[in-house]
């Protein structure tokens, strides 16, 4: 695996090694002010078979890189059978990658992941996936000087170097578009088309509410599943994953920033924008405790000022009827109605989704960050 005798790559099994695995990002990123610690309890649950429904159709192995007795890196090797059955592929994933700027350690971790995936018949490896495209994914390759938004990654500039010098190559870039309240403008053609669409009244719209929020999330996930079915990397959520996502979103979702469009009573399009909870998570430093309410109070203005468009989808048969314009127009209305609203990030968008990328650019959006998905063939 490696000829560096001061370095060892070991599986992280059992309570002690797994604790080291979960604590490692805090050591790697302790000096990086832009890194946002995940809630330790959530990450542990997500990575634990039997506690998170993702693992009902997936398996994983965790690896640690240890140099001179000190942990310096980690990675998870993942086989997602649900995705492979859906896509007709033999894709192995690597994810939850964290490492000091140590090329030998990083390459040793990736080799261990590759070998584990090869032993399970995988044809290629893709990542970072934590643990699939329905969760945090990608390596930041542009925008290192900007804080990440909720459920988006941040990594130092040397991460892409570590991955690429091992032989991983770009498979797809994921774009984060930033729209600022102060600079929103719309071209005349867009304003005219939106007014025409509203005048036709083919669609009705409904903002969510506290009473309907749970059912609305389920409707949105149904739209999302159909809208993204043929997209690169799409992995359908299992019923258990969908229910887990409903439970996670309910406490943080502002119903005003969740809209559904209907055609003859059928939900055909929708958009969910989450408040950016990262300023709060940064203060919490991975732990919930008695001071959480105080941290919320101190960070609430920042949380309310920014949003992330997390879910955006239109059923295929309705794609050419102007609904993307109506969805974005709704966000424009929210910006005008709420003086505390300052910006929204649309993330992530596939770089080859020209129609939506062009529309966001027309809507005063700028590409603020770029994340990369890597791939390498697995050879015996």
Q: What is the pLDDT of residues 129-139, one digit of tens each?
A: 999 999 999 99
What number does CATH give the domain 178-370? 3.40.630.30
pLDDT at 82: 97
pLDDT at 300: 78
Q: What is the pLDDT of residues 282-305, one digit of tens each?
A: 988 877 776 777 766 677 778 789
Q: What is the pLDDT of residues 60-104, one digit of tens each?
A: 999 999 999 999 999 999 999 999 999 999 999 999 999 999 999
pLDDT at 1: 45
pLDDT at 174: 98
pLDDT at 380: 54
Domain ranges of the chain: 7-174, 178-370
pLDDT of 338 over the 50 cut: yes
Tell me the pLDDT of the chain averaged across its residues: 93
CA 337 to chain centroid, in Å, comes to 28
pLDDT at 29: 95
Question: What's this model's pTM, rounded to 2 decimal places?
Answer: 0.94
Res. 177 pLDDT band, cuts 50 70 90: very high
pLDDT of 323 over the 60 cut: yes
- Given CATH 3.90.1580.10, say whether it is the number of domain 7-174: no
Res. 237 pLDDT band, cuts 50 70 90: very high
Q: What is the pLDDT of residues 144-154, one digit of tens each?
A: 999 999 999 99
Q: What is the pLDDT of residues 110-124, one digit of tens each?
A: 999 999 999 999 999
CB 241 within 8 A of CB 191: no
pLDDT of 248 over the 80 cut: yes
Q: Which residues pair with 126 in a beta bridge?
A: 93, 375
Q: Which range, of 14-23, 127-136, 161-170, 283-292, averages the lowest pLDDT?
A: 283-292
pLDDT of 23 over the 50 cut: yes
């Amino acid at each position: 695996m490696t000829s560096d005798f001061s370095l060892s790559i070991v599986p992280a099994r059992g309570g002690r090694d797994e604790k080291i695995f979960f604590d490692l990002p805090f050591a790697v990123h302790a000096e990086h002010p832009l890194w946002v610690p995940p809630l330790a309890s959530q990450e542990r649950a997500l990575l634990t078979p039997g506690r998170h429904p993702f693992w009902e159709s997936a398996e994983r192995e965790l690896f640690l890189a240890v140099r001179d007795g000190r942990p310096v890196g980690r990675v998870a090797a993942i086989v997602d059978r649900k995705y492979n059955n859906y896509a007709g592929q033999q894709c192995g994933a690597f994810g939850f990658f964290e490492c000091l700027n140590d090329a030998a350690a990083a390459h040793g971790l990736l080799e261990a992941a590759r070998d584990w995936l090869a032993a399970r018949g995988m044809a290629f490896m893709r990542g970072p996936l934590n643990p699939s495209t329905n969760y945090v994914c990608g390596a930041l390759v542009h925008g290192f000087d900007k804080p990440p938004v909720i459920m988006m990654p941040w990594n130092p500039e040397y991460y892409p170097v570590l991955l690429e010098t091992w032989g991983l190559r770009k498979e797809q870039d994921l774009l984060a578009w930033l729209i600022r309240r102060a600079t929103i403008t719309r071209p005349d053609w867009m304003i005219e088309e939106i007014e025409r669409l509203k005048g036709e009244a083919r669609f009705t719209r409904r903002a969510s509410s506290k009473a309907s929020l749970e059912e609305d999330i389920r409707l949105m996930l149904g739209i999302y599943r159909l809208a993204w079915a043929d997209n690169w990397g799409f992995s359908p959520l299992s019923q258990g994953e969908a229910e887990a996502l409903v439970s996670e979103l309910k406490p943080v979702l502002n119903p005003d920033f969740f809209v559904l469009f209907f055609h003859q009573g059928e939900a055909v399009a929708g958009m969910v924008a989450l408040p950016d909870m990262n300023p709060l998570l940064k203060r919490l430093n991975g732990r919930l405790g008695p001071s959480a309410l105080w941290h919320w109070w101190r960070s609430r203005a920042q949380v309310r000022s920014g949003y992330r468009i997390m879910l955006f989808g239109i059923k295929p048969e309705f794609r050419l009827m102007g609904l993307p314009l109506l969805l974005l127009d709704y966000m424009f209305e929210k910006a005008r109605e709420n003086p505390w609203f300052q910006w929204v990030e649309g993330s992530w968008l596939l770089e080859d989704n020209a129609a939506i990328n062009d529309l966001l650019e027309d809507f005063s959006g700028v590409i603020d960050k770029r994340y990369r998905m890597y791939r390498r063939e697995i050879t015996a």
